[in-house]
Amino acid sequence: MKEEQKILLIVLDGLGDRPNDALSGQTPLEAARTPVLNHLAEKGALGLVDVINVGIRPGSDTGHLSLLGLDPNTYYYGRGPLEALGANITLNPGDVAFRANFASLDGKGRIIDRRAGRIDSCNQFIKAIEKIKLPCKYVFKATNEHRGVLVLRGKELSPNVSSNDTKNTGVKPAEIRPLDDSPASASTAKIAESFVSQAKKILESHPENKKRKKNKLLPANYLLLRGAGGYTPLPNFKERYGMTAAAVAGGNLYQGIARAVGMDIIAVRGATGKSDTNLLAKVLTVKNALLTHDFVFLHIKGTDEFGHDGDANGKKAFIERVDAAFAELANLDNTIIALTGDHSTPCALKNHSGDAVPLLINGRGVRVDGTQKFGERDAAKGGIGRIRGLDLMPELLNLAGRAKMYGT
């Protein structure tokens, strides 16, 4: 038996794309000048990944679970709990967690912005919000920008309630309703509604919002709750794969997923979970993490942001910045590197799609496939072929000499 290798899994969020007119029919990845990725491809092999399954449009949460080897059909219990874990809230079975958005309501009670004018941070409202009285315990935290998390804690709670977020502007928020006939769902919906209406009163009269209005900024005067989920512990990564694991990720959700499977979260100064993130700092942190951990998960969000903005040139340029930062990773010893996306976010769609994502695997033992560069259509011709997201971890464990034999 050969020496075991380490594994570096790099997820460029929303990496996959479609041929784009602004790039003469190339995808951003195809159009980008990526000498480092091309070098890794030349010494490695490419393929396509159907992250959930062919044609299925993954969320970022379900996509990551799948890439980490956890079938979302079994292990996905909603985005709320993953966001709560990302915000460093310890969850207990029975808790119900929601994502929260600070939003802007006009005088007639209609949503005018679902993100409160992309406010920088909502930490200044937390003290006031903590005055809310509910018939159960709760934790509320602000995370990035307009985002926050609400965790309800008590007996007889249920995640089976609707959202007050209609996803539209110019309309009043919806009522949070129970989605089944159980008393727990009815009571949870009532508690969530009470939280929202108390928060509305508090936020409306909050001095920070008065200041914002004076400065012609949209107020953060309402809370949209969604992604309700109960908490069930996920299988522990180390127990499942026998590897110590670390995550380098700026975004709250990705830290949450990593924490949910028991990875160490390594903080990086300047990792914002956005396109202005400090890529080099993240890459250097990854190199260090590989000294102390068997498996490192690096998450980079910017690609997805440009996809959602429909900015093909921006996505291309960001990929070029990523490529430059990855020069540090080009010659890692004894490490299987896998680089892929959690889903496609085609700029032409400004949304996630079910198009297969390109995959690059590099490292000792890979059947080098003669690929010259990394791109969606190069990947379609690659030696790995077309695999599913759930196949990725077994493939990497195998290449790293860490797979158990099935049979004898």
Q: Which two tokens stand for residue 359?
A: 């995959």
Interface stretch with its own copies, choices 53-61, 104-112, 300-308, 316-324 (CB under 8 A): 53-61
Is 121 near its own copies (CB under 8 A)? no
Q: Which residue's CB is nearer to its own copies, number 173 or number 389?
A: 389
- The answer to whether residues 261 and 237 touch, using CB atoms and an 8 Å cutoff, is yes
- Asked if 406 touches its own copies (CB under 8 A), the answer is yes
Beta bridge partners of 147: 101
Looking at residue 263, the DSSP 8-state letter turns out to be P
Q: Which is nearer to its own copies, 56 or 174 (CB)?
A: 56
As a whole number of angstroms, the distance between CA 80 and CA 99 comes to 5
Q: Which of 166, 56, 305, 338 is nearest to 176 (CA)?
A: 166
d(CA 57, CA 352): 6
Specify the stretch interacting with its own copies by CB under 8 A; choose among 137-145, 187-195, 210-218, 391-399: 391-399
Kindly tell me which of 60 and 187 has the beta carbon lying closer to its own copies.
60
Host H or E run for residue 148: strand 147-153
Looking at 52-60, 181-189, 196-204, 269-277, which segment touches its own copies (CB under 8 A)? 52-60
Which listed residue (5, 32, 61, 266) binds its own copies by CB under 8 A? Answer: 61
C-alpha dihedral over 343, 70, 269, 358, to 10 degrees? -30
**Secondary structure class of 301 (helix, strand, coil):** coil
Closer residue to its own copies in complex, CB, 18/287: 18
CB of 256 to its own copies, least distance (A): 13
Choose which of 62, 164, 188, 221 interacts with its own copies (CB under 8 A): 62
216 DSSP assignment: T
Look at residues 68, 44, 15 and name the one whose alpha carbon lies nearest to residue 331.
44
Q: Is 22 in the site for its own copies (CB under 8 A)?
A: no
2, 131, 216, 269: which one binds its own copies (CB under 8 A): 2
Spatial separation of the C-alpha atoms in residues 83 and 61, rounded to whole Å: 10
Residues 251-310 that bind its own copies (CB under 8 A): none
Q: Is 391 in the site for its own copies (CB under 8 A)?
A: yes
Counting beta carbons within 10 angstroms of the beta carbon of residue 137, is it exposed (0 to 12), middle (13 to 18) or buried (19 or more)? exposed
x/- track of binding to its own copies for residues 171-210 (CB under 8 A): ----------------------------------------
Nearer of residues 18 and 200 to its own copies, judged by Cβ: 18
- What character string, x for contact with its own copies (CB under 8 A) and - otherwise, covers 216-245? ----------xx------------------
**Closest to 300 (Cα-Cα) out of 280, 329, 314, 330:** 280
Nearest to 356 by CA among 328, 386, 311: 386
For residue 323, give both structure tokens.
């490529």
Q: According to CB under 8 A, which residues from 326 to 385 bind its own copies?
A: 346, 348-356, 365-370, 376-377, 380-385
Task: Tell me how many residues contact its own copies (CB under 8 A).
Answer: 66
Q: Alpha-carbon distance 69 to 71, whole Å?
A: 6
**Dist CA 201 CA 194 (whole Å):** 11
The span of 106-114, 119-127, 205-213, 399-407 binding its own copies (CB under 8 A) equals 399-407
* CA dist., res. 399 & res. 401, Å (int): 5
Binding site for its own copies (CB under 8 A): 1-2, 18-19, 25, 27, 48, 52-63, 72, 76, 79, 226-227, 346, 348-356, 365-370, 376-377, 380-388, 391, 393-399, 401, 403-408
